[in-house]
């Protein structure tokens, strides 16, 4: 086979005929496969089912704090849960707030506090800065973009390279005092799967920003989600580096057990400097008396400590790895020779980014939908859902059983080839 762009128009026309025929046959099968979101599958969820029985009325409900966990209290969460999330996030217990069951909610609340009251070093609340802007890495996570759009920030696009954000551009953009922060998924990023290099983390920690309240939203959602636990990606310690440069209040980190135990029913945490935690507490104390300590207790009993968490995550990896490897093998076999796509090779996380020829992503997603395979919308990886190249597609291999995933990826590869041929033919 040769690359499609080296083919004559006669060859392309014949190929198109063939691919269209194959596509009609698939359409006739009436498939119904959904790969839109990166959710764990049922087998992964079952890994945590011991949590249903791990606590009962005979479980001691008074923890290290000497508090009865069945009752109100502990704004920052139980001592044991803070220690566990601290171990997971690589920070000490004193720097952690364990909140409810969603880190996304904690991110929203963090930025809302910035809007209404200002961040620790804000000269005034963000709502009083009408031209406020937030840096968004692309490809990136649609729900991040949506939060800052919802709060009235202008979303400024920065390319994500193989080593993290394009730091030359970031360092230039932060000279503008209306640029208030940046969204980062530093490890096994959503959706490209890349991990920031040490140099990138250092530059983020070190850079001078015109805004004194510039905030790094360090969403380490996939910090322990390795596909190859024996050879994990390593991420530099941003808090240690930020401290070195006197910028420790700049970073607010987030994580949750959504993809460790149960999505939406795990425990979520925020980590920050002591000064930031005091600032947050001053407002949070009016928002809640404390989050669900029974859920924290269940999680601590089940996950125990970092070594046990790692064992548990290796079981997730064993289920996820064959799915990622299948997708990557199919891309290699079906898309490499025709030269119609590029893709990332993540070593963790939940996603692969596939770049199809410019102007084809929307068409591929639509062709797939019309053949019964629902993918994440094209454009979702970019602010305002607009990918100027119309090229990036987020692939989420985790949820379908492997047989269905193979079916779905056959359809996807066919649709990429078809869209690429039709683009070359100008139809
Ligand atoms: N951040 C990232 C980067 C994610 O991919 C996800 C889940 N898709 C979340 C946050 C959501 O986290 P939570 O369930 O803790 O709200």
Q: What is the pLDDT of residues 333-386, one digit of tens each?
A: 999 999 999 999 999 999 999 999 999 999 999 999 999 999 999 999 999 999
55 domain-assigned: no
Q: Is 104 a pocket residue for ligand 1 (Cβ < 6 Å)?
A: yes
117 domain-assigned: yes
Give the mean model confidence (pLDDT) for residues 127-148: 98
The reported pLDDT for the residue numbered 2 is: 82
256 domain-assigned: yes
- 205 and 250 assigned to the same domain: yes
* Containing structural domain, residue 162: 61-304
- 281 and 296 assigned to the same domain: yes
- 125 and 164 assigned to the same domain: yes
148 domain-assigned: yes
Our count of domains for the chain comes to 2
The reported pLDDT for the residue numbered 263 is: 97
**The pLDDT of residue 200 is above 90:** yes
**The pLDDT of residue 248 is above 80:** yes
54 domain-assigned: no
- 210 and 277 assigned to the same domain: yes
Q: Is 109 a pocket residue for ligand 1 (Cβ < 6 Å)?
A: no
**The pLDDT of residue 87 is above 90:** yes
Q: Which residues contact 427 (CB under 8 A, 6 or more apart)?
A: 16
- 87 and 34 assigned to the same domain: no
- 74 and 157 assigned to the same domain: yes
Candidate of 221, 260, 381 to mutate for ligand 1, largest count of ligand atoms within 8 Å of Cβ: 221
How many Å lie between the centroid of ligand 1 and the Cα of residue 281? 23
Identify the burial level of 41 via C-beta atoms within 10 angstroms of its C-beta, where 0-12 means exposed, 13-18 middle and 19 or more buried. middle
Candidate of 36, 100, 101, 104 to mutate for ligand 1, largest count of ligand atoms within 8 Å of Cβ: 104
- Average pLDDT for the chain: 97
Q: How confident is the model at residue 174 (pLDDT cuts 50, 70, 90)?
A: very high
Q: Whose CA is nearest to atom 8 of ligand 1?
A: 38
- 297 and 316 assigned to the same domain: no
Which of ligand 1's atoms lies nearest the C-alpha of 141? 3
**The pLDDT of residue 1 is above 80:** no
Tell which residue, 81, 111, 87, 83, has the closest CA to residue 99: 81
- 352 and 416 assigned to the same domain: yes
- 236 and 96 assigned to the same domain: yes
Q: Which residues contact 217 (CB under 8 A, 6 or more apart)?
A: 107, 110, 111, 144, 181, 182, 183, 184, 252, 254
50 domain-assigned: no
Q: How confident is the model at residue 80 (pLDDT cuts 50, 70, 90)?
A: very high
Q: How confident is the model at residue 227 (pLDDT cuts 50, 70, 90)?
A: very high
Give the mean model confidence (pLDDT) for residues 407-411: 97
- 368 and 295 assigned to the same domain: no
CATH number at residue 91: 3.40.640.10
Q: How confident is the model at residue 294 (pLDDT cuts 50, 70, 90)?
A: very high
Q: State how far the Cα of 214 lies from the Cα of 120, in Å rounded to an integer.
A: 10
- 240 and 93 assigned to the same domain: yes
The reported pLDDT for the residue numbered 427 is: 85
**The pLDDT of residue 133 is above 90:** yes
CATH number at residue 39: 3.90.1150.10
51 domain-assigned: no
The reported pLDDT for the residue numbered 37 is: 83
% of the chain residues with pLDDT over 70: 100
180 domain-assigned: yes
Which of ligand 1's atoms lies nearest the C-alpha of 256? 15
């Amino acid at each position: 086979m040769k690359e499609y762009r080296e083919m004559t128009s006669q060859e392309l026309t014949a190929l198109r005929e063939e691919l269209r025929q194959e596509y009609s046959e698939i359409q006739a099968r009436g498939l119904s496969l959904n790969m839109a979101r990166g959710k764990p599958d049922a087998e992964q969820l079952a890994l945590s089912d011991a949590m249903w029985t791990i606590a009962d009325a005979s479980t001691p409900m008074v923890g290290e704090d000497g508090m009865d966990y069945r009752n109100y209290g502990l704004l920052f969460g139980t001592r044991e849960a803070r220690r566990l999330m601290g171990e997971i996030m690589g920070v000490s217990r004193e720097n952690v707030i364990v909140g409810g069951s969603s880190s996304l909610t904690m991110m929203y609340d963090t930025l809302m506090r910035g809007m209404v009251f200002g961040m620790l070093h804000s000269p005034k609340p963000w709502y009083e800065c009408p031209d406020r802007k937030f840096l968004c890495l692309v490809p990136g996570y649609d729900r991040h973009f949506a939060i800052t759009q919802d709060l009235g920030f202008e979303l400024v696009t920065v390319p994500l390279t193989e080593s993290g954000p394009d730091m030359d551009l970031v360092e230039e953009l932060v000279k503008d005092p209306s640029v208030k922060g940046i969204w980062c998924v530093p490890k096994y990023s959503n959706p490209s799967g890349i991990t920031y290099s040490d140099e990138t983390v250092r530059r983020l920690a070190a850079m001078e920003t015109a805004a004194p309240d510039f905030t790094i939203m360090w969403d380490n959602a996939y910090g322990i989600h390795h596909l190859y636990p024996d050879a994990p990606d390593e991420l530099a310690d941003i808090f240690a580096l930020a401290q070195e440069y006197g910028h420790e209040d700049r970073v607010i980190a987030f994580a949750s057990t959504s993809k460790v135990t149960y999505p939406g029913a795990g425990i979520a945490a925020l980590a920050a400097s002591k000064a930031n935690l005091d600032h947050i507490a001053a407002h949070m104390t009016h928002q809640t008396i404390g989050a669900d300590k029974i859920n924290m207790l269940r999680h601590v009993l089940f996950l125990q400590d970092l070594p046990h968490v790692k064992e548990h995550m290796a079981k997730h990896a064993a289920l996820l790895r064959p799915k990622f490897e299948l997708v990557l093998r199919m891309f290699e076999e079906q898309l490499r020779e025709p030269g119609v796509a590029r893709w990332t090779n993540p070593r963790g996380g939940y996603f692969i980014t596939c770049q199809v020829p410019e102007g084809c992503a929307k068409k591929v997603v639509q062709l797939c939908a019309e053949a019964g395979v629902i993918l994440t919308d094209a454009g979702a990886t970019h602010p305002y859902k607009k990918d100027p190249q119309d090229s990036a597609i987020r692939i989420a291999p985790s949820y379908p059983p492997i047989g269905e995933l193979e079916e779905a990826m056959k359809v996807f590869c066919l649709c990429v080839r078809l869209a690429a041929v039709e683009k070359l033919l100008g139809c």
